[in-house]
Structure 1
Amino acid sequence: MQRGMVIPVMVLALILGLGGAWVINQAVQTVNDRILGAASRAIIDSLTVEDGAVGLDLSPAIFGMLEDAARDNVYYNVSHQGRVLTGYEDLPSIAPKTMGDTQVVFGDAVYLGRPVRVVAEARRLPQIDGVVIVQVAETLRARQRISNRLLTGLVILELVLIGVSLALLPLAIRWGLRPLHRVQAEMDRRAASDLSPIALDPVPTELRELVGGFNAMLARLDSAITGIQRFTADASHQMRTPLSILRTHIALLRKAEPGGAAAKESIEDISQASERLQHLIVQLLALARADGADQSRVELAAVDPNEIAAASAAEHALTAVEAGIEFNFDRLAHAPAVVTNRVLAIEMIGNLIDNAIKHNRAGGHVRIGLEVADRQVLVAVEDDGPGIPPEEREKVFGRFERLHRDPSRGSGLGLSIVAALARVIGADVRLETPAAGRGLRAVVSFSVAGTQSSF
């Protein structure tokens, strides 16, 4: 951090140095131009007119104001209508041709091989046509000497500033980080399970947004840990039953006569319990995968909704036949492509089909159909089983939630997985009563490709 502060200090010092050099140059130029202008006005005030001729009563004090230890040379001339009346005839002229009365012009020139600063001032005199122009020039040694002295002082001050800043920087950083050290000390004193927010009252105003963000992260972490603990407890509770069945019947098999009726019954119960346990584990893994998926990283693409529904139906067709369920899939002609993730969409619809088969009546029907409505493609999984009462349809999307009428059927995870996957792929799921008035209709809405701007 200290190294990162050195560069800004150096850049700031450079900017201040450049700005200071410009100010020094402008100040020296302005002050010396005023003195040079005063000399030109004094010469103009010394001009006289006698019988139409311009005379000059020049006092030595006029050039004395320009004298200094640097021994600058001073030159002047007085001209009228382009003719030099007195002074240095070869002094370069900076006066414009249309110079008016009392007009003053400053400029730079070279005279006798040396740079000079020149002032030209015009004045209208009595009995003289046009204006008389006075030019005064001086060499630049004094200006350069003053500028160099001021620039040297500026460089020294800059070096002192940088040195003091670098010396005080560690102290300033340690002082500035003291509030963070206090927050760190408070967190170190806490127990590992304490995720309560940090009090904002003793925190400086500058750090409240940072601490507020940290508190928000603690809240999310606490919620996630609580969810994991609840999920683990529920999962272990759900696994306890099939595992107890397995242990009980394995113990019975050890005592039963091989090939006997009791052994066959135990083997059948073991088979059912293992299938139930396998299904529960698969669903737990699916739910964990859905919860852990980052919506911003899930790849969405244009997919044929017929292909998604057909793949889901194909995976569960054999299960429907074994359960004695009549299974139908109605393909949608000219279905527009939808924006989704193919793999997760198939898994989501597959869970709806699995629920429709497992919770249907004996000899029931399951139908998968598609339709287009309001720039969306709807994939509906419909059964004619006992259905779900409207007042309980929101609740069944929770984890391990079962209806009161069949608390031992299923794991209570199917619709939780559907809701989690729908959230990841940007789909919408709702439960309805079929048009026949019996059973359950689960509808998944996908946005048509080209109409979804949020993905």
Structure 2
Amino acid sequence: MPTAALALVLGVGGALIIGRIVESVNDRLLDASARSIADTLALEDGEVTLDLPPSAFGMLENDERDNVYYSVRVGGELLTGYPDLPRIDIDAASTDDVVFAYSAYRHAPIRVAAIVRRVPRVEAPVVVQVAETLDARSSLSARMLAGLLVLETLIVGLLVLLVPIAVRWGLVPLAEVRRGIARRSPTDFTPLTLQQVPAELRSLVDAFNGLLLRLENAVEGLRRFTADASHQMRTPLSILRAHLQVLKREGTGTEGGRASLADIDSATARLQRLLTQLLALARAEGNRENVLRLARNVDLVALSRSVAEDHVPAALEAGIEIVFDAEGSASVRTVEEFARELITNLVDNAIRYNRRGGTVWLRVAAEDAVHVVVEDDGPGIPPGMRAHMFQRFRRLDRAHSEGSGLGLAIVSALANALGGTISVTDRPGGGLRVAIGLPRDLAQNA
């Protein structure tokens, strides 16, 4: 198809160019003939005369024996020539330019050249016209078009032969890249080399190498996540297995059996919380479009108050006071379940790692974005360790062995899914301050 289009363009373009060349060459001969006749005009005894030079028509002779016609008129009156030769429009004031036009004469198409001359002491302008039939022009055009057709056929034939060869040669580096990718193992993320890659493909290879790097990071993150998750689950499962063995031996009526039941209950609760957090993390890191479909209008003040009320029993058990500070409402378009899980994890961590007798503050402030702020007056987190606090399974306080290290990782993932921001600073007077900024409309921040 591209070759046929090229042949069509060459054919049409060549025909137009040949037509202009043939017309230009023959018009020059007509121009010279008309001027040579006009140059012989003179005034004798008050009459305009001319002496037709033989060369005026000799230069128009050709192998096709075209008919040549002429006329000379003074003020519209025929001086000599063919009286019925068609007259073409020409400006009488133009005395040096030759005007050309196509016409018909004696049932044949002709090309006419006309020039105006002024004879001294003669008021009327003299118009000289020379015309010829078009047989020679048509014959020359046909011969040139035939030559062009032969040349075009050769060019198109060469293109048909050479283009596939050139394409195959140009695709050799791409084939090498393809073979290199095909030979790789599923775990080989080594970047492709750019040494043999053409400049046109380097941006593609660079983009592919970037994809490999992101895949490597994702696979490595998944590997670490799987290893850490299996390690975290191994402890409660081992506890369950050990205490089930105790129950098999002693039953539930002994003191040891009752202690085992309590430990089983604790391990089960820990395992349940771990699985819940893993599911929450997986959902938070899921497809962005799915998150957008879940968005609806949510009052963060009411939602935060509900979270604070849910944590009152745990706070009382830990000897910690919860203070809720927000007025009115703060409506945002977001995913309610994600927002609740985010605030829940922040409050849960603030209670879990605070000191007995401490306080946890939960505030909501509505500005351009809505900020949910959780503060505590506990030991806080040193600035040097804050870069790691949102990593999975990273427990900054080893004394609290019941934690899984997923709470703040879930906070980070949920904030990112909701288009929010996280700010961690020291609380004035001691403790930690974590502020989450959520956009008014999740879709506009996507």
TM-score (normalizing by structure 1)? 0.87
Q: Note closer, same or farther for the CA distance 1:118–1:313 as it changes in structure 2 (3 Å cut).
A: farther
Alignment partner, residue 101 of structure 1: 95
Instruction: Please say if 1:416 is aligned against 2:419.
Output: no
Q: Quick one: distance in 2 between partners of 1:118 and 1:93? A: 9
User: Is 1:354 matched with 2:354?
Assistant: no
* Deviating more after overlay: 171-180 vs 103-112: 103-112
In the alignment, what sits opposite 1:441?
433
Which residue of structure 2 aligns with residue 257 of structure 1?
Answer: 251
Q: Which amino acid aligns with 1:91?
A: L
Distance 1:117 1:345, change over 3 A: farther
Structure-2 residue corresponding to 1:398: 391
How many residue pairs were aligned? 445
2:92, 2:125 within 8 Å by CA — same for their partners in 1?
Answer: no
Equivalent residue, structure 1, for 2:372: 379
Secondary structure of the residue aligned to 2:372 is strand
Report deviation, 1:143.
2.0
Counterpart mapping for 1:283-298 below 5 A = 283-294=277-288, 298=292
Counterpart secondary structure, 1:393 = helix
Q: Which residue of 2 aligns with 1:3?
A: none
Within a 5 Å distance, the mapping from 1:135-154 to structure 2 comes to 135-154=129-148
Structure 1: give runs of 5+ residues left out of the alignment: 1-6
Deviates more, 1:84-93 or 1:152-161: 152-161
Q: Return 5+ residue gaps in structure 2 as ranges.
A: none
- Is 1:266 aligned with 2:265? no
- Tell me which of 325, 328, 334 is aligned to 1:333: 328
Q: Deviations over 1:182-207 (max 9, x none)?
A: 22333444444332222222333332
Is 1:42 the counterpart of 2:40 in the alignment?
A: no
Residues 298-340 of structure 1: CA deviation (Å, up to 9, x unaligned): 45676543354356556656655676655454443253x4464
Structure 2 distance, partners of 1:369, 1:88, is: 109
Distance 1:166 1:285, change over 3 A: farther
Corresponding residue SS for 1:394: helix
CA distance in 2, matches of 1:411, 1:84: 116
Q: Could you tell me whether the CA contact under 8 Å between 2:439 and 2:445 is conserved in 1?
A: no
Cα deviation code 1:66-106 (max 9, x no counterpart): 23333432221111222221112222222434332222211
Residues 453, 113 of structure 1: CA spacing in aligned structure 2 closer, same or farther, 3 A cutoff? farther
Within the candidate set 22, 27, 31, 1:28 is matched to 22
Contact residue 312 and residue 347 of structure 1 kept, 8 A: no
Name the aligned partner's letter for residue 34 of structure 2: S
Counterpart position of 2:418: 425
Q: Select the residue among 162, 183, 191 that pairs with 2:177.
A: 183
TM-score for both structures, normalised by structure 2 = 0.88
Query: Does 1:87 pair with 2:44?
Result: no
**Residue type of the alignment partner of 2:436:** V
Q: What's 1:344 paired with?
A: 338
- Inter-CA distance 77–202: structure 2 relative to 1 (3 Å threshold): same
Pick closer, same or farther for the CA change 1:145–1:297 going to 2, 3 Å.
farther
- Deviation by residue 1:270-305 (Cα, 9 ceiling, x = unmatched): 111111112112212222333343489745676543
Shift of 1:120: 0.9
Alignment of 1:98-177 (within 5 A): 98-177=92-171
The whole-number CA distance in structure 2 between the counterparts of 1:153 and 1:308 is 86
